[in-house]
Each structure stands twice: as C-alpha cells, then as structure tokens.
Copies of this chain bind each other. A is one copy, B any other.
Amino acid sequence: MEFAHSEKARKVIKEAESFIREEIMPAEAIYLEQLRQGGDMWKQPAIMETLKAKARSAGLWNLFLPDEDYGAGLSNVDYAPIAELTGQCLIAPEVFNCNAPDTGNMEVLVKYGSEEQKQTWLKPLLAGEIRSAFCMTEPAVASSDATNMQATATIEGDEVVCQGTKWWSSGVGHPHARFVIFMGLTDPQAHKYLRHSMVLVPMNTPGFKVERMLPVFGAFDEPFGHGEVSFNQVRLPVDHIIAGPGRGFEIAQGRLGPGRIHHCMRALGAAERALQLMIERGRSRVAFGKPLINLGGNRDIIANARINIEQARLLTLKAAWLMDTVGAKAAMSEISQIKVVAPQVAQTIIDQAIQMHGGAGLSQDLPLSALYAYARILRLADGPDEVHRALIAKLEIRRYEDRT
C-alpha cells in the first residue's frame, strides 16, 4: 500500500495548485464582473480566454485525457487530485479545458470517433475553440432506467433521423457550443444493450432547437447552462452515428466511469473550499464576544467535515486506481459508492459553510450557493443516489448468492 501520489502526479498537482492560486482565484471576481456586465450572461467573459491561453502554454491543458497522443497521458488516479483542485473554483475546469461535458465528449471521440469526426469536432474541442453538450436525459420518463428512453435515432437509407426531447443538456447554452451527442433508440428489436445509437448532431442542423434553459434553484449557471432541447426530424448522414448503430450503451458506459470520478473529485474540491471558507469566517466573525468558531458545536462540524472529506477522497482515489488497474466493470461497486457519497459529503459541508456565513452564504457574494447547486444536481446527474445504492446492494448480495 502506498498512499502518496506518483512523482508524475505530484509535479502536475504542484503546477496546477499554484496556477489556480496565482492566476485563477484572483480572476474569479473579474470573471463574474465581466459575466454580469450588461444584462445578458450567455456570453464568454474575455478573461476566460486569457486564462485558457495561459494555462495551455503552461501545459495545464486537457489533463483529464489519459490518451497520450491527444491528452496529458495521466492515469485516472493521477488526474483525480487535479480534478479535485479544479472543483475548488467554479471557473477552473474550463480554464484547463477539463470541463464536463466536453471532457466526456472528447473521450468518446478519441475512442470511438471516425477520422473525419476527429478532424472536424475533436480537434477544436481539444483546442478549446468550441464547446459541446450531451443529450441523454428525457423529461417525460424516469431516465435513471435507460430502457425507458423514448427518443429515436431511426435509420432511413443512408440517413439517421433524430426525434425526441431531451433536457438537462448541460453546456448547450454556451455561445461556443457547436454540437451535441444525442442518444436515441435505433432498433427496438435488438438486445436491450444494442438498441441505441449515439449521433453527433451539429447544432445548426435543421430541426435542432434549444427550447429553454433550466435553472437549478433559480440559477441558470450561465454561460454554460442546462437546456431543454427538441429534435424534430433532425436528419443527418448515417456516418454521424458514432462508432456505428447500436453502440450507444457501450459508449455511454465507457463515458460514465471516468466522468463520475471527475465529478466526485470536483465535488470534494468544492467541499474543501467550503471548509476553508467556513473556518476563515469562523475565525474572523465575532458574536457574543467570541469568534464563531468557538461557539456551540462549530468545531465538531469542522472535525466531521475533515473526516468525511478524507474518507470520500480515499474511496474516490481507490475507485480511480481500480479503474486504472482492473477496469470500470470490476470497479462498478466502488464507482457507485463514490457517486453516492461524494456529492452528499459536499452538499452537507457546503450547507454548513452557508450557515456559518449567515445570509452572505446564500448570496452572490460567495461561491457557496453555486457550489451547493453543483453538489445537489450531482445527486441526480449520471444516475440518482437511489440507482447507485440499489446497484451496490445488488453486488453485495450477489456475493452470497454465488455461495449457495
């Protein structure tokens, strides 16, 4: 057993840490100011492009991508601490070109994309020139059960026709967003896991429409946002089906593993940030003659926060290590475990940090309410807690079934 990061990881962690501290954190306020200027927030603040250029030239770019040709060639367990660091600051993931769902889409295109798709779509994504979205969840059905999916990707001759409504398509509101990956039913007669296809849909294709943006607790998460998108007879050449018809589930499964690790680590980064803000506030704010930190059960809250972050982080790192060593399938239980526990830990700690700040904690003056929204939505995105717990229990019980 060895709990230290690899030398390679330590180097990147150190660089990312100082870049975040010295470049990104001080720019956060400027970013928000630029974003809020005027009324429309669906735009790219200029400072983001400056930061991206700096990060890229510093080699802090596409770190999430384990592929050595396209990305940084870090393993999951080596990238995980970087993901955590970026979770401390809402704008950091984009600065490093490591923000969801572009990360997942890049992974898909690296692994399954045709040469043409790589040229046209992957290349500018890798360069941070465009953004993309992922259209899977549907409003009308419980999407946690993927067999419920109603949208269709019907093959008609050498064309595929996308039809249906998707929502919670994150990133679709960004001014640089250019394409989405759409999942639809192609062959209802096929085996349960061979029915669906993933189609690369350029956003200017006729029939594609962002119907509206969806807020989380009233916040629209501009300029990325979460959209409700209709596909009304969206017709494309059949080569827009990624890796060919019927491979939707396979791609979705492969996409989710690393994504869940990234999400969980970012959530833990958010929890660390909240803990830090909580302590700073608790030390500086005085009531009844004492710093808040010395009142009531506040120190217990801090101790429990530390314990829970440490535990969830180790579990997430172990899941990453399992993915690196035995693969996503064998790490299925652990991946579901972190998906349950990391967002919950983050939600709780951020809520407590809000409480320590009083009204300020809920306002736009602090990142806490945005971090809270991130943690909360994560308990639903990529499978709700309930589905993950059911899977963990099933795998646990199965060990006993095998015995009898």
Contacts and interface: CB of A to CB of B under 8 A. Distances in A.
> What is the copy number of this chain in the assembly?
4
Interface string A35-67: 000010000000000000000000000000000
Contacts of A100: none
A324 to B, nearest CB: 9
B393 A302 contact: yes
A1 interface: yes
A32 interface: no
Contacts of A389: 296, 299-300, 303-304
Given A377-B362, A389-B304, A317 B1 contact: yes
Given A3-B1, A283-B400, A337-B310, A369 B215 contact: yes
Interface string A300-338: 101110110011101101100110000000000110010
A299 B392 CA distance: 9
Interface string A365-404: 0000110110011011100111011101110110011000
Nearest to A145: B287
A299 B390 contact: yes
A188 interface: no
A21 to B, nearest CB: 12
Q: Max chain B CB contacts within 10 Å: which of A6, A145, A358?
A: A358
A385 B206 CA distance: 54
Contacts of A307: 315, 337, 340-341, 392
A217 interface: yes
A359 B276 CA distance: 29
A26 interface: no
Contact of A390 (B280, B295, B314): B295
Contacts of A167: 359
B318 A396 contact: no
Contacts of A68: none
Contacts of A77: 1
A368 to B, nearest CB: 9
Nearest to A143: B358
A334 B314 CA distance: 12
Contact of A359 (B168, B318, B385, B390): B168
A157 interface: no
Given A287-B144, A359-B380, A362-B377, A392 B217 contact: no
A285 B296 CA distance: 18
Given A3-B318, A359-B168, A400-B280, A306 B214 contact: no
In the A-B complex, the 4 residue pairs with the smallest Cβ-Cβ separation, listed nearest first, are: A218-B219, A297-B297, A311-B311, A217-B217
